[in-house]
Structure 1
Amino acid sequence: MSAESTPEPGIPGESGTTDEAGGGGPRRRPGGRRRRPRARRRGVMIAAWTAAGVVVLGGTGLGYVYVKLNGNIKSVDIDQALGTDRPTKADNGSENILVLGSDTRSGANKKLGGGADDGSARSDTAMIVHVYEGHKSASVVSVPRDTLIDRPECTDTRGGTHDAATGVMFNSAYTTGGAACAVKTVESISGVRMDHYLEVDFSGFEKLIDELGGVEITTTKDIKDPDSHLDLKAGTHTLDGAQALGLVRTRHGVGDGSDLGRIQLQQAFVKALVDQVKDVGLLTSGTKLYALADTATKAVTTDSDLGSLNSLMSFAGGLKGIGAADMNMVTLPVRYDPANPNRVIVEKAKAQQVWTALRNDRPIPRSATEGTATGEAAGVVSSS
């Protein structure tokens, strides 16, 4: 099937694009009355992420609350670690953000990951979020953790150097050298400059969903996975934090049991979260707003440019016009590795279509993801 005509920039999901989580293109939302500046300053500004579904909330203020929330945010100086040998930064206002869901396999995360308490760092979720010029729409590219790639030599944020490696799993970059090596690897395989980095801790994600009062989703099939402690009958559910975390981490309860099926659940959950969070009455309770902001800021690690409450709020505010219908979510084009069905290999020609689209601030063409491995879990979860 050939790609259709190319739509105008910044309108993903129209002719020539695809959306694996829902199949429909974005719709223009009717304009609403602007909030007064005072209300907007006190309001909620949201940036959603994957796979594991991150939400960043912030409220302005002075004194203890501001200092407390500002002190919660952890940041890493990725620009210093990577130096100047990087892809060119776009000059039209578009942005690329690498979003990772991390699990240290220690402390509170031990029971969530089901692994040994060895203190090692793992990244089970990776999404490249491209925000188009004008910040009215976005494309999200999920990168399977099991993708075999060539990892470049990199320097971590502590100054340690890590050798290059050939034919290793994508998530080994984070395990080996943390945030800086993860960004270096993404830039190496894509040729796309990452403007920002956002990492969300799994235990913090669970608490955040609970603070939000849960997220409503509909399952079209039963999902049962003892490994992720998830047992859902087909139907509509309001997931608490533990269930939401189980959903975005399950891989044996849906589809072909691969990481690709899990990615499709993550994409559907992110859309449900983005849609639902608009209806949460946060402005009615300052206490609830503070609890959400406290939990969210404790859960995230950012690049140094976003490492303050003001910077994070400004960044999130720039994304508040992007709803679920404005997001085109795809998976990096891959095929199963003939030598190991638990690994996938990049479909280089199709992947190049994705990277070229992002570099040029254009929608991802439908042809980039046609005929690639999917994990067979599409349509299992949708927003209610």
Structure 2
Amino acid sequence: MSAESTPEPVIPGEAGPPDEPGRSAPRCRGKGRRRKPRGRRKGLMIAAWTAAGIVALGGTGAGYVFFKLNGNIKSVDIDQALGADRPTKADNGSENILVLGSDTRAGANKKLGGGTDDGSARSDTAMIIHVYEGHKKASVVSIPRDTLVDRPECTDAEGGAHDAAEDVMFNSAYTTGGAACAVKTVESMSGVRMDHYLEVDFSGFQKLIDELGGVDITTSEDIDDPDSHLNLKAGKHTLGGEQALALVRTRHGVGDGSDLGRIQLQQAFVKALVEQVKEIGLFSGGTRLYDLADTATKTVTTDSDLGSLKSLMSFAEGLKGISAANMDMVTLPVRYDPADPNRVLLQEQKAQQVWTALENDRPIPKSATEGTATGEAEDVVSGG
């Protein structure tokens, strides 16, 4: 995810703009957070419960419809790949779901993702959704793809072994070993068990937004990003699938031009999407209902525990009470790397506040995100 912006001076030890040459100042890294050569990436975002909620609507049918939708769902056996050496499951009814946006370069995604049709896949958007006990509130923690981490040794879903690596970008975990490696990396970073996994791709996201009839948003300033091909004047807009995808991939048209600014746009869009799905009459039935459910089930890849329509319906039922007003959305506490502002480093003590809150089913304290790099794109996009 990058095309560079005009450099500004980097002050050692402070957050600088993301696309300038870094100085040779010494790094003050958190434990195990280092670097990997940068590649061109694009981001993708979707709310887990929005996709799952639409999927659940398909369960109102019977016979052919049920089996058709059930057959659409792809799943991966995360548990088998990860084995028993994992953080302990919570026993209080709370859940943690890792949601990844995938930009595979195969098939319909070739045009949307760019590059060649080589079948490779990348995950440039990652969110941990923590659903609190009682399933009335949720916290969403975005993990910047440029975060430098120690990736643990992992086994992919096909049984292939991958060595541990230091100083690599977070999103290299998925590229290296797929979903299982991404989950293991998150669990290694956080010490928190991921109960479920959901993945959504470019083409499915775009089609899903189109079939929803678009999403209403308001921009507080003009957005013009030639890389994502998004050009919006300040004001109210109804974004179709192509524009929605451009919005969640935009970075150079807002804030400081960083991936952190893009995350802020993604979070705002998710809230708008969640609220709108609740208001547009999805329960009216008919062909539109089936088309939405068909697209949603083709769009998601899940862990094996959610790999059936029945399981996904049950999962969605447990999330439907969570509104945008009850979602606390934060970015994992990071700062720009003084030696390479195209990368970010964890603020270890603040990140630990986040992990401790999730592990103990408590709200994330405001102190965890105070004084961290933000991307400077707050309030650029809102719902409605």
Superposed pair shares fold, TM > 0.5: yes
Displacement of 1:115 after TM fit?
2.6
Asked if residue 236 in structure 1 is aligned to residue 236 in structure 2, the reply is yes
Counterpart check, 1:308 vs 2:308 = yes
Q: For residues 47 and 156 of structure 2, what CA distance do their matches in structure 1 show?
A: 26
Displacement of 1:315: 0.0
Give the Å deviation of 1:53: 3.8
Q: 1:252 to 1:115 in 2, by over 3 A?
A: farther
Choose from 45, 49, 52 the match for 2:46: 52
Q: Which amino acid aligns with 2:79?
A: D
- How many angstroms does 1:92 deviate by? 0.5
Residue 286 (structure 1) shift: 1.5
- What's the counterpart of residue 145 of structure 2? 145
Residue 180 (1) aligns with residue 174 (2): no
Alignment of 1:165-244 (within 5 A): 165-244=165-244
Provide the residue aligned with 1:28 in structure 2. none
Within 2, Cα distance between the matches of 1:112 and 1:253?
Answer: 19
After superposing the two structures, state which structure 1 stretch, 279-288 or 318-327, moved more: 279-288
Equivalence for 1:321: 321
- Counterpart Cα distance in 1 of 2:265 and 2:125: 12
Aligned length: 335
Give the equivalent residue in structure 1 for 2:355.
355
The alpha carbon displacement at 1:113 in A equals 1.9
Q: Which amino acid aligns with 1:71?
A: G
| Structure 1 residues 190-234: Cα deviation after superposition (integer angstroms, max 9, x where no partner) | 000000000011110000000000000000111111211211111
Amino acid at match of 2:130: H
Q: In the alignment, is the contact (CA less than 8 A) between 1:52 and 1:248 conserved in 2?
A: no
Give the letter for the 1:52 counterpart. I
Q: Offset at 1:118?
A: 2.5
TM-aligned CA deviation for residue 283 of structure 1: 2.5
Mapped partners of 1:368, 1:110: distance in 2: 38
1:282–1:289 Cα contact (<8 Å) kept: yes
2-structure distance, mates of 1:287, 1:88 = 43
- CA shift, 1:285, in A, is 3.5
1:105 to partner: Cα distance? 1.7
Alignment of 1:1-384 (within 5 A): 51-54=45-48, 55-56=51-52, 57=54, 58=56, 59-60=58-59, 61-384=61-384
Q: Which amino acid aligns with 1:104?
A: T
Task: Give 1:375 deviation, angstroms.
Answer: 0.5
- Counterparts of 2:72 and 2:335 in 1: how far apart (Å)? 41
3-state SS, counterpart of residue 354 of structure 1: helix
Aligned mates of 1:106, 1:100 — CA distance in 2: 17
Distance in 2 (alpha carbons) for counterparts of 1:117 and 1:301 = 20
Aligned match of 1:17: none
Greater mean deviation of Cα atoms: 184-193 or 279-288: 279-288
Secondary structure of residue in 2 paired with 1:227: coil
Task: Tell me by how many angstroms 1:107 deviates.
Answer: 2.0
> Residues 260-307 of structure 1: CA distance to partner in whole angstroms, max 9, x if unpaired?
000000000000001111111222241111000000000000000000
Q: For 1:284 and 1:261, locate their aligned partners in 2 and report how far apart those are by CA, in whole Å.
A: 37
Q: For 1:111, what is the secondary structure of its paired residue?
A: helix
Q: Which amino acid in structure 2 is aligned with residue 337 of structure 1?
A: D
Q: Deviations over 1:165-200 (max 9, x none)?
A: 001000000000000000000000000000000001
Report the 3-state secondary structure (helix = DSSP H, G, I; strand = E; otherwise coil) of the residue aligned with 1:184: helix
1:216 partner SS: strand
Instruction: Tell me, in whole angstroms, the C-alpha distance in 2 between the residues paired with 1:110 and 1:246.
Output: 15
State the AA in 2 paired with 1:133.
Answer: E
Larger displacement relative to structure 2 (162-171 or 114-123): 114-123
Cα RMSD for the two superposed structures: 1.0
Is the contact between residue 124 and residue 145 of structure 1 (CA under 8 Å) also seen in structure 2? yes
C-alpha distance in structure 1 between counterparts of 2:47 and 2:79, whole Å? 25
Q: CA deviation at 1:108?
A: 1.5
Q: Write out per-residue CA displacement over residues 87-126 of structure 1, whole angstroms, 9 at most, x where no aligned residue.
A: 0000000000000010112222122123333321100110
Separation of aligned partners in 1, 2:372 and 2:293:
39
Residue by residue, what CA displacement relative to the aligned partner does 1:16-59 show, whole Å, maximum 9, x if unpaired?
A: xxxxxxxxxxxxxxxxxxxxxxxxxxxxxxxxxx7334522123
Q: Decide whether the 8 Å contact of 1:52 with 1:125 is kept in 2.
A: no
What amino acid does structure 2 have at the position aligned with 1:72?
Answer: N
Q: Distance in 2 between matches of 1:162 and 1:283?
A: 45
Aligned letter for 2:220? T
In structure 2, C-alpha distance between the alignment counterparts of 1:332 and 1:249, rounded to whole Å: 19
Give the drift of 1:381. Answer: 0.1
What secondary structure, in the 3-state scheme, does the structure 2 residue paired with 1:280 have?
coil
Deviation, structure 1 residue 62 = 2.0
CA distance in 2, matches of 1:114, 1:234: 28
Aligned amino acid, residue 205 of structure 1: F
Letter in 2 for 1:145: R
Partner of residue 34, structure 2: none
* Identical aligned residues as a percent: 81
